[in-house]
Amino acid sequence: MTDRPDRPDRVVPETARRRRRPTKQGTVLSEQVIVDTALRLVGQHGAQAFTVRRLGLALGADPSAIYRYFHSTDDLLLAVADELIGLGLDGWRPTGDWRADLREVGMRIHARSLAHPQAAVLAAYRTTGRANEIRAIETMLGILREAGFPDPDAVSLYHAFIDQALGFAVLDSAALALPATARHADNGVWDTAYRGLSPDTHPHIAATADLLAADMRRSAYPLALDLLLDALAARLPS
């Protein structure tokens, strides 16, 4: 959706750009500079800092200049999301062990999202169709197909795998991205509301309150990922 301007279009594809005119404040714009600045902005000031006007301010450019590079803020968001995907995959090579490879990819997606929780919350559920996303899908599909899964299974299992990774990424990122007060309040609930429930009314919670309070502080993704891989291994044709 983002390219192929058949009609006169405000946006020029990055590859066709030739004239780099600095803004009044001296910045030279580019897709990369804008995406990097957006990531930094969101990382420093939270997701609500992701507005065209504040981005323009941070760039030292008029907000509308951004529309020379992206069709809309949504378009820009997709570019940011794709950058995150790319950062996660950089410097990784498959080993040939499908289970180890899938596990590594899953953990990388999760870790990269937690490193930029605000951006992850905004972008994790989008389909970008951009270079890094395509590369990631090709890689994961390849792992499954070469492991021996027939195509229909490979596709639907890939779907389950990636959505589980992204779902946990969103959930855990959202918890991190919460304002400090709300985050502490949510954490405290496990000690206040759940410890001390009567065994008569809530036997199962009462019996495991300590375990619950401890377990809920961590991400459940590593376990969920291993469970998924267990199930995949069991379904692999021999």
Partner DNA sequence: CCCTTACGACAACAGCATTGACGTTCTGCG
Partner DNA sequence: CGCAGAACGTCAATGCTGTTGTCGTAAGGG
Candidates 2, 58, 68, 213; binder of DNA (CB under 7 A) is 68
Window 37 to 56, contacts with a copy of itself (CB under 8 A): none
Over the Cα atoms of the chain, what is R_g?
Answer: 22
* Cβ distance to a copy of itself smaller for residue 35 or 232: 232
Crossing angle of the two packed helices 151-177 and 98-115, in degrees rounded to 10: 30
E strand intervals along 122-221: none
Q: Is 41 in the site for DNA (CB under 7 A)?
A: no
Give the Cα separation of 45 and 63 in Å (integer): 18
Q: Is 195 in the site for a copy of itself (CB under 8 A)?
A: no
Q: Is 23 in the site for DNA (CB under 7 A)?
A: yes
> Minimal distance in Å, beta carbon 39 to a copy of itself?
20
E strand intervals along the chain: none
Sign of CA dihedral 230, 231, 233, 234: positive
Q: Is 111 in the site for a copy of itself (CB under 8 A)?
A: no
Q: Alpha carbon of 178 to those of 46, 92, 168, 181: distances in Å?
A: 9, 31, 15, 8
Quick one: what does residue 20 bind among a copy of itself, DNA, none, with the CB cut-off 5 to 8 Å set by partner type? DNA
Give the Cα separation of 181 and 136 in Å (integer): 36
Q: Could you tell me how many residues make up the chain?
A: 238
Q: Where are the alpha helices (DSSP H) in 46-92?
A: 52-59, 73-89
How many of the chain's residues bind DNA (CB under 7 A)? Answer: 28
Q: Is 219 in the site for DNA (CB under 7 A)?
A: no
Quick one: what does residue 90 bind among a copy of itself, DNA, none, with the CB cut-off 5 to 8 Å set by partner type? none
The interface region with DNA, picked from 69-77, 87-95, 148-156, 159-167 by CB under 7 A, is 69-77
Maximal CA-CA distance, the chain: 74
CB atoms under 10 Å from CB of 218, counted, come to 10
Q: Is 129 in the site for a copy of itself (CB under 8 A)?
A: yes
Q: 170: which 2 tokens?
A: 């969103």
The residues of the shown chain that bind DNA, judged by CB under 7 A, are 12, 17-25, 29, 50-54, 61-65, 67-69, 71-74
The residues of the shown chain that bind a copy of itself, judged by CB under 8 A, are 1, 74, 124-129, 134, 137-138, 141-142, 145, 151-152, 154-157, 159-160, 163-164, 166-168, 170-171, 174-175, 178, 182, 185-190, 192-194, 197, 202-205, 207-208, 211-212, 215-216, 219-221, 223-224, 227-228, 230-232, 234-235
